Amino acid sequence: MKNFDVQSIGLTVSANVAFDYISQPSNLPKWTNAFSRADATTADLVTPNGEVPIKLQTVVSRDAGSVDWLMTFPDGSTGAAYSRITPNGDDEAIYSFVLMAPPVPLEALEGALEAQKGILSGELEELKGILAA
């Protein structure tokens, strides 16, 4: 069973502009549905059962164009999301996002990942709109 999904979107801003925006954890609630609040070390994750406070680590490399998020949940389980901003000429970029399956029991894995894939597609469109404005 596949436990990841990779999606990408073309952005009409430079890789540097995209990196500056995406790499700031406080911007996560502006373009994702997953967070109602985020800062350098913590976030409030939105779940079907309400918000959950988590530890959040944002690992960035401007040289590589990578922005990764490592999350630790209250029960000690962990999750991760990996992304990369790739230049596409001087004034455009490609944003690739690797969606990992959430830390849920195996029997719920496929449904949870399928639901998140659809959400991610919408979030990437939201990000594109914000950066184009």
Q: Note the pLDDT tens digit of each residue in 95-127.
A: 999 988 766 544 444 456 677 788 889 999 999
- pLDDT tens-place string over residues 35-61: 999 999 999 998 778 899 999 999 999
Can you give the pTM of this predicted structure? 0.88
Kindly tell me the number of DSSP H helices and DSSP E strands found in the chain: 3, 7
H helices of the chain, where?
15-22, 28-31, 106-132
3-state secondary structure of 26: helix
- The Cα 46–Cα 36 span in angstroms is 6
| 95 contacts 87 by C-beta, under 8 angstroms | no
Residues pairing with 52 in the sheet: 45
